[in-house]
Amino acid sequence: MAGALTIDTLKASSGVLATQNGMTGIAKAWVTFSGGSGTINGSFNVSSVTRTGTGNYTVNFTTAMAATQFCPVISISNSAIGGAFAFDAGPNLNSGGYTGYASASYFKFITGNISSSVPADPAIASVTIFGA
């Protein structure tokens, strides 16, 4: 069978991602939040942001990802303490060989000041998750 299928509106009976799971290349979740508190300013498919300490965040998904192999894109603004910021979401998270930085249900990352090499809160952080 060959041809194209055009649909104006696609609805599913349940799950916020039910209409997206079959689409690759689009954001599966996004959030923008205040770094000092983790308070969400806007989001899609994010149930909460947990600030577990200075510069340490967990983004919790409303509907789980299909797998843990997703692509997070993080944007952080500078804070009042000055200096350049960086983030880490891998083996060096918390400088302790942290390995549980991602699951189908959440994504963890840390932000810090490059100059002083200590965790620090950005004014605003934004995370977008892409996946299959």
Segment 45-88, tens digit of pLDDT: 999 999 998 888 999 999 998 888 888 888 888 755 555 566 66
Cα 65 to Cα 71: distance, rounded to the nearest angstrom: 11
Q: What is the pLDDT of residues 13-32, one digit of tens each?
A: 555 444 455 566 689 999 99
pLDDT tens column, 88-132: 665 444 444 445 678 889 988 888 877 777 788 888 999 999 886
Separation between Cα atoms, residue 132 and residue 122, nearest integer Å: 29
Which pTM was predicted? Answer: 0.75
At CA 126, angle to CA 19 and CA 53, rounded to 5? 120
In sequence order, the β-bridge partners of residue 31 are: 43, 127
Distance CA 127, CA 107 (A): 10
CB 35, CB 56: distance < 8 Å: no
User: Tokens in use for 10?
Assistant: 């696609």
- Strand 85-88, strand 106-113: pairing: antiparallel
Q: Where are the domains of the chain?
A: 33-130
Q: Residue 52 contacts by C-beta under 8 Å, 6 or more apart in sequence?
A: 58
Q: 3-class DSSP state for residue 93?
A: helix
List residues bridging with 33 in a β-sheet.
Answer: 40, 125
